[in-house]
Structure 1
Amino acid sequence: QLRSAKVVLVSGIAQPERFHHMIQTLGAQVVHTMRFSDHYNYRANDAEHIAHTFAQTRGDLLITTSKDAVKLRNFECLAQLPCFALEIVAAPAENFFSALQTALPVRAEHVLP
């Protein structure tokens, strides 16, 4: 149950604020956020720091992105933590394709036979 759970967030994404907001919107109590740079390559000392922070904050859940979970899954110190991964899906703005079509100097149908 995410509602009212004490959550530690871990992310290495470009705009972590959106991730943080999404978790709060789902009703979690974010007790600590650990932000790493986009495409971060986690090291053993990072994983140990994450585990230590989780213990210190007495979190109920550790939540990360699916992209970061793949990078963190082999660290033994994190193996026993209640860790969940959320998949972040990028969706273009409503007018993205029409704006792109307007911005392109040549339409695709004119280039392709």
Structure 2
Amino acid sequence: MSDTTTRVKEAIESADIVLFMKGTPQAPQCGFSMQVVQILSQMGASYKAINVLADGDIREGVKAFSNWPTIPQLYVKGEFIGGCDITREMFQTGELAALLDKKSIPHNQIAKA
């Protein structure tokens, strides 16, 4: 296992919810990352954000790790969920809240968007 793969794996395991994104939650650097931040914030879910723009190895490494070509990437309890479109769809249908419930991750009980 490469050093980058190890770093990606350790990052994914470092919190219940991990978001690999462009920028930071306070200053997203792309609209897709901003949408996922807004969803997680609206849900009141605690998460760890990894700014892939600050580390090119992680940026490419997470794409290889998940076999998913784009950023952002959302992980819940080590499981790859998807990017912005999948996260938004899961949020709108209530599937994301159900997943957090199933994984015993605290969040706000909110109406569907």
Same fold (TM > 0.5)? no
Structure-2-length-normalised TM-score: 0.31
Structure of higher RCO (CA pairs closer than 8 Å, 6+ residues apart): 2
